[in-house]
Amino acid sequence: MHKRLTSPGAAQSGVTLIETSVVAAIAAVLMSVVSPSFDGLIENRKLDGVASNLQADIQFVRQQAVLRHQPLRLSFYSGNETSCYVAHTGNHGDCSCDASGNVACIAPVQHLKTVAFSSADNVAVQANVSSILFDPLHGTSTPTGTLKVVAKSGRAVHHVVNVMGRIRSCSPQSKAGAALASVPGYRAC
């Protein structure tokens, strides 16, 4: 029978510096791979959330115009550091939105709702029209327009509002050679 002899200093417990360094290197490589996709996931959620809210607000203004028997307008404003949209009565020039999202409307214009975005939000709302007027009789819209929710990376969700006041949503596909992809959950524009 052989007896194994061990000295008190031979038994090791704990982790060596080399093992710790290897684990740290593997963790760093994994983080560098996961971080860009995590940022993309956060951006997708932000774009989808803002686009969903904008779509709901368009429908809200359209419904309120019919319920109140009063023409209502959704106006769009953008500056260097901010963008916003305002639901109100009256003409486009009757309301304005400043850099902090505060709205000023001239009397007797009624302000219903404002949504503002600063540069810190990393998302903006852009429109190819200054405002859309919703008719109280049929809920139709004049003029038609494309409303864009755009992230700083360039990824976007477009809401196309037709003359009937209906909304078609899509996300532009990346152009050849671009690294940006369309936002998941939206059909391609």
Digitized pLDDT (tens) for each residue of the chain, 189 residues in all? 555 555 555 556 677 878 788 888 787 676 666 555 667 788 888 889 999 999 999 999 999 999 999 999 999 998 877 889 999 999 988 988 876 778 888 989 999 998 988 887 889 999 999 999 999 998 899 999 999 999 988 889 999 999 999 999 999 976 654 556 788 888 888
**pLDDT value at position 173?**
77
Number of H helices, E strands in the chain: 1, 11
C-alpha closest to that of 77 among 33, 126, 5, 35: 126
**pLDDT value at position 34?**
54
- Secondary structure of residue 19 in the 3-state scheme: helix
Distances (CA, A) of 119 to 41, 45, 99, 144: 19, 17, 10, 27
Neighbouring C-alpha atoms within 13 Å toward the C-beta of 146? 11
